[in-house]
Structure 1
Amino acid sequence: MSEQHQDHIAEVRQFFWRNYVSHSIEGGLFIGGMAFLAGDTVMPSMIKSLGGPEWLIALMPVIMSLGFMLPQLLTAHRVEQLQWVKPFVMFTGIFQRTPYLAAALALFLLAGTHPMLTLAIVAATPLVGGIAGGLSFSAWIELISKIIPERRRSSAWAVRYIIGAAIGIGAGSVIRSVLRDHPGPAGYAMLHLHASAFLWLSYLAFAAIRETRKPPGIIATPRGLHENLRSLPHLLRSDIQLRRFLGMRVCGLGLNIMIPFLAIYALRVTGHDESFLGHFVTAQMTGGIIGNLLAGYLGDRYGGKLPVFIGRVLLLALSIAAVVNRSETGFVVIYFTLGFAVFLENVGATTLSIELCPHDRRPTYMAFISAVIMPCTLLAAAVSTVVRVATGGIALAAALSAALLALSFYFLVRLREPRHTRAAAAS
C-alpha cells in the first residue's frame, strides 16, 4: 500500500466518528422533518383538501424525488472533477430548505383569499426543494462515499433513517393534534413550520461534517456536458450490473401506483377524519425504525442486495393485503409493514447503487440511474391517476403494483452483490 493510500485511510479514520455522527444526525433531522409532511399520507390529503386534482394528488408521494432526479445529469460531469464537494452542497442546501417556510406563510396568509395560488405554492414546494437538492445530489453522494467506509455505509444510512423515524413517531402525534385542533390550511401551515425547523437544524448538523480528500489514484477524465451525455448509452450497453439494477428499481416503482391513494382509501373505509393520518404516520415510522435496525446489520455484513430482497417480498404481500383489509387495525399494520419494508429497501438500494459504480464515474452513474427512474416515476403516477379516476377503488392499482413488484425479482435475483464480485476478483 502506498504512502498516499495510508495517509488517506488515516484521515478517514481520524474524522470517522465525527463524520458518521454528523451525517447520521443531519439525515435523521431532515427525514424526521419531512415526516410532518409525509408524501404518502399528509401531502395527498392536504392537496385534496385544498381542491387539488387527482393527477396532482397522485404526484405527491414522488414529487420531491422527481425534483431530485431532474438536474443531476447537468452537474455530474463537474462533480467528477471536484476535489472538494461540501461547499457546493452547503450552497444548494439553502434553497432546498427555504420553500417550506414560504409554503407555511402562503397557507397562513393566502389560503382564504387566493386558494389556487396557495395550492400552487404548496404543491410546488417539494418540487422546488427537490430540484435544489438534486443539483448537488451527486456531490453529496460523493462526499458520503469519501468519509464513510464501505462496510459502515449501510449502518450509517440505517442510523439516519432510525433517527428520522423516531422523530416521525413524534410527528405522528403532532399531526393528529394539530389537524384535530386546527383543521384546514392553518393546521397544514403549522406542519410546514415544524418541518422547516427540523430542516434547518439538519443544515447545521451537515455543516459539522469534515470533508476528506479523494482516495489516491481516482482520476476522472475531463468531460463537458455534451460529451458526458453521449457516454451514457455506452455505460448502459457495457455494464450488465447496471442494467439489472435499473430493471429492479424501475419495476419497484410499481408500488407508487397504489400508495398515493392508500391513506385516502383507508380513511374512507374506516370512516375516520384526517387527524387519523397521525396513527398511520406513527405506525409507518415505528416500522421504519425496526426495518433500519435490520437493514444496517444486514447491509454492513452482507451488502445491499439482501435487505432489498426482504423488503420487496414484504411490499408484494402488502399490496395484496391492502385490497382485502377492512379494519382500522389492519391498516395500521399495513402502514407499519410499509415503513419496515421501504426503509429496509432504501438502505439496501442506496448501498447497492454506490458500490456498483466505478469510483471515477460515480456521479455520472448516480445521475444516470436517477434520469432513468424519473420518467418511470411519472409513468407510475400517471397510471395511478388513470386507475383512480376510472375505478374509484384501490383493487386494480394494488394488482398492478403487485405485478410489477413480482416482476422486479427477475432482475433482483440476477443482480450480483458487488462485494462478492470484488472479493472473487481479488482472490
Structure 2
Amino acid sequence: MADIVLDQASTKADDRNLGWNFTVNLIDIAFITLGISLVSRDTVLPVLVSTLSDSNVAVGLIAALYGLGIYLPQLFTANFTERLPYKKPFVMLVGSVGERLPYLLMGAAVWVFAAPAPNVALILVLGCLALTGFAAGAATPAWYDLIAKVIPVRRRGVWSGLGHGIGALMAIFGAFLVGRILDDYPYPNNFALLFLLAFIATCISFVGLALNREPPSPIVKEQVSTQRYFRQLPDVLRANVNYRRFFISRTVVLLGAMANSFFIIYGDQRFGLDGATIGLLTATLVASQAVMSLVWGVVGDRMGHKVVLTGAAFLLALAALNTLLAPNQSWLILSFAFLGASSSGDAVSGLNIILEFAAPEDRPTYIGLTNTLLAPTIVLAPILGGWLATVAGFPVLLGVAAVVAATGGALLLRWVREPRRQPLVVRH
C-alpha cells in the first residue's frame, strides 16, 4: 500500500530524466563507495590508529566519532531541508567542503605528524573523520529526499544495490592496491597516499551528484519554528507503532555492531597480519559488498527492505561468531565476507525502508529523527566494545556482539511488519 502511495506522491520525473538521474547517481554512489573503501573504517583505519596509539578505546572511536557525526545532525537539518523546493544545492554545498575535503586533510595530517607527533596525527585524523561524518549526516535528509524525487520506489533498491555493487567491484581492485601500498611504501607515506586516492575518488562522485536533474518538490511545508518542530516529534513515535518497533529493533542490531572495528585488531593480535593479508581481507569485504549489494537490491525491491535488514542482522552475528571461533587467519576471510554482506544490506535498505514509513512531505523528518535518535547507540556501541575488549578480552566482546546482533534480527523478523503493506501515518 505504502509503496503505491509513495510512487504516486513522488515527483514524477520525465522518463528522459529518470534514465539520466539513475545513471549519474550510480556514478555518485559507486565512486564514493570506492573512496571510502580505500581507507576502510573496518580494516585500514583501525590499523592506522593502532600504530598511532595502543588504546583499544581509540580504535573504538573510529566508528563512534563517525557515527556521531553522520547520525546526530540529521534531525537538526531536516526541519530546514523539508521546506526547500530544491534539495541539490544544499547537498552540494555541504558535500563538497564538509564531506570530501577532510580526506585530503587526513592524508596531510598523517604525512606531516604521524612519525614526529603521533598523538597530534591521531587527534587530527579522528577530528577530520568526525567532520566528514557530520557533513554527510547534515546532508542526508535532503540527499535522500532528492533520491526519492528522481528515482521511484520500485527502482531504488536496484539503484542502491547496483551503485554499491559497482563501487565495491571497483574497490576490489582498490583493496589489492591498498595491500601493495601498505607493503611497498614506507610508513606513514603509505597511509597518506591512501587518503589522497580516497579524496580523488570522492571528488569524482561529486560530479555525479552535481549532474542530477532535480524537479521541484510536489509538497513544500510551511516554515515552523525549531521549538514547535521539536515539540511535534514525539507524536511520530506515539502515532506510528510499526515505526516505533522498527526503531527499537534497529537500535538492538546496531548495538550488536560493537565488535566490527575489532575484527582486524583481534586477527592481527592472534595471527600477525601483514599488509598483503590486510589487503586480502579488505578485498573480501568489498567483494562481498559488491555481490550482496546487487542481491539485496533485488530482494529489497521485490520482498521489502525489512527482509534485507533482517538478513543483514543475522549475518552480522555470524561474522562475530566466526571471528571468535577462527582457528587460523584463513577463517577471517569468511568473517569479512559476512561483515561485507551485512554492511551492504544496511547500505541498501537502512534508509530506503524509512522512506516507506513516511508520507512524502515527512520524509526528511523521519530520516532525521531515526538517525539522530540512533546516534547514541552508534557512538556508544564501539566505545563499549573497546571497554569490553580491555576489561574482559576480545572473546567476550565477540560473543556478546553475536548475541545482541542475533536478538535484533529476531526482533525485526517477528515484531516489525513490512511497512509497504501498512497504511501511511501522516504527520500534521
Q: TM-score range by the shorter chain?
A: over 0.9
Other-structure match for 2:278: 277
Other-structure match for 1:305: 306
Contact 2:306 2:412 in 1 (8 A): no
- Seen in structure 2, the aligned counterparts of structure 1 residues 341 and 381 have a Cα distance that, compared at 3 Å, is closer
Write out per-residue CA displacement over residues 288-309 of structure 1, whole angstroms, 9 at most, x where no aligned residue: 1111121111111122111122
Deviation, 1:248, is 1.8
What is the correspondence of 1:147-158 to structure 2 with a 5 Å cutoff?
A: 147-158=150-161
- Seen in structure 2, the aligned counterparts of structure 1 residues 114 and 87 have a Cα distance that, compared at 3 Å, is same
Contact 1:254 1:402 in 2 (8 A): no
Deviation, 1:88, is 0.6
What is the correspondence of 1:383-398 to structure 2 with a 5 Å cutoff?
A: 383-391=384-392, 393-398=393-398
Deviation, 1:98, is 0.9
What is the correspondence of 1:18-167 to structure 2 with a 5 Å cutoff?
A: 18-51=20-53, 53-95=55-97, 96-167=99-170
Write out per-residue CA displacement over residues 81-106 of structure 1, whole angstroms, 9 at most, x where no aligned residue: 11011001111111211111112122
345-354 vs 143-152, which deviates more? 345-354
Listed as ranges, the gaps of 5+ residues in structure 1 are none
Contact 2:315 2:338 in 1 (8 A): yes
Deviation, 1:35, is 0.5
Other-structure match for 2:264: 263
Amino acid paired to 1:19: N
RMSD: 1.9
Other-structure match for 1:228: 229
Contact 1:33 1:167 in 2 (8 A): no
Other-structure match for 2:376: 375
Other-structure match for 2:288: 287
1:233 and 1:422 mapped to 2: Cα distance? 19
- The total of aligned residue pairs comes to 415
1:201 maps to 2:204 = yes
Write out per-residue CA displacement over residues 216-251 of structure 1, whole angstroms, 9 at most, x where no aligned residue: xx3424322111111111211111122111112111
1:214 maps to 2:212 = no
2:182 and 2:361 mapped to 1: Cα distance? 48
Give the fraction of aligned pairs with identical amino acids, expressed as a percent. Answer: 26
Deviation, 1:185, is 1.5
- Seen in structure 2, the aligned counterparts of structure 1 residues 43 and 7 have a Cα distance that, compared at 3 Å, is closer
- Seen in structure 2, the aligned counterparts of structure 1 residues 12 and 68 have a Cα distance that, compared at 3 Å, is farther
Other-structure match for 1:406: 406
Higher relative contact order (CA 8 A, sep 6+): 2
Write out per-residue CA displacement over residues 17-41 of structure 1, whole angstroms, 9 at most, x where no aligned residue: 1101111110110011010110011
Contact 1:162 1:292 in 2 (8 A): yes
- Seen in structure 2, the aligned counterparts of structure 1 residues 44 and 8 have a Cα distance that, compared at 3 Å, is closer
What is the correspondence of 1:325-344 to structure 2 with a 5 Å cutoff?
A: 325-344=326-345
Other-structure match for 2:5: none
- Seen in structure 2, the aligned counterparts of structure 1 residues 389 and 368 have a Cα distance that, compared at 3 Å, is same
Amino acid paired to 2:325: V
Listed as ranges, the gaps of 5+ residues in structure 2 are 1-7
Other-structure match for 1:363: 364
The secondary structure found in structure 2 opposite 1:60 is helix
- Seen in structure 2, the aligned counterparts of structure 1 residues 6 and 256 have a Cα distance that, compared at 3 Å, is closer
Contact 1:67 1:129 in 2 (8 A): yes
Deviation, 1:52, is 5.7
- Seen in structure 2, the aligned counterparts of structure 1 residues 315 and 352 have a Cα distance that, compared at 3 Å, is same
Amino acid paired to 1:76: A
2:168 and 2:339 mapped to 1: Cα distance? 13
Contact 1:45 1:274 in 2 (8 A): no
Other-structure match for 1:317: 318
Other-structure match for 2:4: none
TM-score by length of 1: 0.92
Amino acid paired to 1:287: S
Contact 1:242 1:356 in 2 (8 A): yes
Write out per-residue CA displacement over residues 102-123 of structure 1, whole angstroms, 9 at most, x where no aligned residue: 1212222233333322221111
